[in-house]
């Protein structure tokens, strides 16, 4: 489809300076109403300003124009670039009370809407702005209910669909399960992210967040064969507590047909990771799992999305996972994982051979302190840079439970990069910061170097990635890390592997160091010739 958001940007740029960006939506709405209701809309004079005041009173809108000249200039500009009612929904690109469907996933949604529908509900219709009319036009024999909590948007919908007898507009919120008795074949929802409901609205819903409560409410309005298509933030896939209760409720009462991970930053208003869900009435055996990636055209610089991974899981499998973490699902269906599972090698989880804990929160640093602090930045590709450690001045007895021991494995608890390091005891006590997970192995069962080698392997990394959770910042729980499965071989074999690894690593590091020294000497010699 045509990049309508780029068109909107051009229009916003044209109008920039005439009004604050945050007031453009209201300004355009009342201007178009004036154009419709004025006796002589082509005559640019004071009568238009009188009509403006009438319109503002009629539709309970604030007059955002400071004077008549400001309005008349804006009126002329609107006419010159042929703005219309659909632009009311898209023009204000910096508004925070709603999210707008990005161009990149419009076709993805349109492909999911079939023609065999009787009635469709579009919740918070303003969020579908550029797509709204195309959805309705795709199924002209279908009945539509478009809702919003905003009176201005509702009136805009009425203007857009003034000639459509199959479209009903309703101003309503989600706090009432019974906002309608209708059941729908399809419900489309793109709720705003991260908004907490007011206390009086929370009583009937499992979760307090608007987007999650909205999802629960809308499910009650599905027909016997109905489907809800919605986009939700990543926390629905992993969070515990009430969010977990909601996941269990959905799996028990409905069927999850699709969970698709969308690229981060696909919404201009937020950088959080989002997922596209299709949830239907009844039960199902198969759940489609997809991951999309962002693609940027080298010439046009236009952004699109492309299917990167796709698989299927049984609904019972999804329940067994305990969450909807698709990284975990993909990792467990990987060929390497399957071969690992089918091998004769004994496997154990970390909890069988190790303990773990989160590092300590550090509130203050002291360069002269006697306690070394290992941070994520200190963990290099193969080792820890002990020369760059922060230091802490405190009584060692207060941090005794956090003191690192020789052979402790350190893994970042935050971020997307997965790297590990084996701690080597220093001449001074050291602790790990709270951004690190400490794994302390039973060295009578497993050697630290052997564990590091496995965790750094593709199979180890895939397992750890499957444990990452988060929206904008990925996190790993020190408790979850203990579920990682590792091949358990005799200690003597571990020793052989570890010694070979350390021998070759030492050779590699020495070679790199020697090459770097040689290069620096050559450069100095050449520079001295000047």
Judge whether residue 35 has pLDDT over 50: yes
Nearest-angstrom CA–CA distance, 306 and 415: 24
Mean pLDDT taken over the chain: 86
Q: How many residues does the chain have?
A: 530
Give dist(CA 264, CA 308) in Å, integer.
14
Whether the per-residue pLDDT at 202 is higher than 80: the answer is: no
Identify the three-state secondary structure at position 392.
strand
| Burial (0-12, 13-18, 19+ Cβ within 10 Å), 18 | middle
- Model confidence at 414, pLDDT cuts 50, 70, 90, reads confident
Phi, psi dihedral angles at 322 (to 5 degrees): 85, -10
- Give the phi and the psi of residue 292 in degrees, each rounded to 5: -105, 150
Mind listing the pLDDT tens digit for each residue in 287-321?
A: 999 999 988 888 877 888 899 999 988 888 888 88
Q: Give me the DSSP letters along 97-113.
A: S-----GGGHHHHHHT-
Tokens of residue 204, six digits: 């009937």
Partners of 279 in beta bridges: 228, 256
Tell me the C-alpha to C-alpha distance, in Å, between residue 236 and each of 225, 250, 275, 502: 24, 11, 9, 43
CA–CA gap between residue 59 and residue 114 (Å, rounded)? 36
The CATH number given to 347-488 is 3.90.220.20
Q: What is the structure's pLDDT at 98?
A: 63
Share of the chain above pLDDT 70, in %: 91
| 428: pLDDT strictly greater than 50 | yes
What pLDDT, on the 0 to 100 scale, is given for residue 295? Answer: 87
Q: Which of 445, 435, 441 is nearest to 482 (CA)?
A: 441
Nearest to 436 by CA among 460, 450, 419: 419
What pLDDT band is residue 10 in, cutting at 50, 70 and 90? low
Task: Give the pLDDT mean for 122-128.
Answer: 90
485-528 confidence digits (pLDDT tens): 999 999 999 999 999 999 998 999 899 989 999 999 999 988 88
In this prediction, residue 1 carries a pLDDT of 54
**pLDDT given for residue 147 in this prediction:** 92
**Range with lowest mean pLDDT among 135-144, 276-285, 429-438, 506-515:** 276-285
Give the separation between CA 287 and CA 279, rounded to whole angstroms: 10
Look at residues 8, 39, 7 and name the one whose alpha carbon lies nearest to residue 21.
Answer: 8
Q: Is the pLDDT confidence value at 6 over 60?
A: no
pLDDT digits (tens, 9 = 90+) for 45-65: 888 989 999 999 999 988 989
CA 460 – CA 413 distance, rounded (Å): 15
CATH topology of domain 103-333: Rossmann fold (3.40.50)
For range 159-177, the mean pLDDT: 84
Mean pLDDT calculated for residue range 20-31: 84
pLDDT band for position 89 (cuts 50, 70, 90): confident
State pTM to two decimals. 0.78
Q: What percent of the chain has pLDDT over 90?
A: 42
- Assess whether pLDDT exceeds 50 at residue 199: no
Contact (CB, 8 A) for 379 and 362: no
Q: What is the pLDDT of residue 367?
A: 81
DSSP state of 120: E
Task: Look at residue 222 and tell me whether its pLDDT is greater than 90.
Answer: yes
């Amino acid at each position: 489809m045509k990049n309508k958001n780029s068109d909107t940007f051009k229009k916003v740029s044209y109008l920039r300076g005439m009004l604050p960006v945050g007031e453009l939506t209201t300004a355009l709405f009342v201007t178009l109403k004036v154009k419709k209701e004025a006796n002589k809309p082509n005559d640019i004079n004071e009568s238009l300003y009188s009509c403006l005041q009438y319109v503002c009173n009629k539709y309970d809108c604030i007059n955002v124009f400071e004077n008549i000249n400001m309005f008349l200039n804006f009126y002329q500009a609107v006419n010159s670039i042929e703005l219309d009612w659909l632009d009311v929904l898209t023009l204000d690109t910096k508004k925070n009370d709603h999210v707008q469907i990005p161009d990149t996933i419009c076709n993805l949604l349109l492909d999911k809407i079939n023609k065999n529908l009787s009635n469709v509900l579009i919740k918070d219709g303003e969020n579908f702005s550029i797509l709204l009319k195309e959805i309705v036009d795709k199924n002209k024999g279908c009945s539509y209910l478009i809702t919003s909590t905003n009176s201005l948007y509702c009136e805009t919908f009425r203007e857009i669909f003034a000639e459509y007898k199959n479209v009903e507009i309703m101003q309503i919120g989600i706090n009432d399960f019974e906002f309608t008795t209708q059941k729908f074949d399809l419900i489309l929802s793109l709720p705003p992210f991260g908004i907490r409901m007011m206390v009086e609205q929370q009583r009937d819903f499992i979760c307090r967040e608007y987007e999650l409560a909205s999802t629960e409410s809308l499910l009650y309005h599905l027909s016997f064969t109905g489907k809800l298509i919605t986009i939700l933030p990543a926390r629905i896939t992993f969070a515990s507590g009430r969010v977990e209760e909601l996941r269990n409720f959905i799996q028990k009462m409905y069927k999850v047909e699709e969970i698709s991970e969308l690229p981060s930053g696909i919404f201009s208003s937020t950088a959080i990771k989002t997922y596209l869900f299709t949830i239907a009435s009844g039960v199902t055996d198969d759940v489609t799992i997809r991951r999309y990636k962002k693609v940027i055209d080298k010439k046009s610089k236009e952004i699109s999305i492309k299917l990167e991974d796709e698989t299927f899981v049984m609904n019972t499998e999804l329940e067994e996972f305990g969450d909807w973490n698709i990284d975990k699902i993909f990792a467990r269906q990987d060929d390497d994982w399957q071969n690992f599972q089918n091998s004769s090698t004994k496997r154990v989880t970390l909890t069988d051979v190790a303990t773990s804990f989160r590092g300590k929160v550090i509130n203050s640093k002291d360069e002269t302190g006697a306690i070394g602090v290992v941070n994520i930045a200190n963990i290099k590709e193969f080792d820890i840079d002990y020369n760059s450690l922060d230091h802490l001045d405190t009584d060692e007895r207060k941090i005794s439970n956090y003191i690192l021991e020789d052979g402790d494995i350190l893994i970042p608890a935050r971020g997307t990069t997965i790297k590990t390091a084996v701690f080597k005891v220093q001449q001074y006590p050291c602790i790990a910061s709270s951004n690190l997970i400490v794994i302390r192995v039973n060295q009578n069962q497993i050697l630290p170097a052997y564990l590091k080698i496995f965790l750094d392997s593709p199979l180890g990394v895939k397992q750890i990635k499957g444990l990452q959770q988060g929206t904008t910042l990925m996190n790993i729980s020190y408790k979850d890390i203990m579920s990682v499965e590792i091949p358990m071989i005799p200690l003597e074999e571990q020793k052989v592997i570890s010694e070979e690894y350390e021998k070759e690593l030492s050779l590699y590091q020495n070679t790199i160091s020697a090459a770097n020294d040689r290069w620096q000497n050559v450069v100095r010699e050449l520079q001295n010739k000047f």
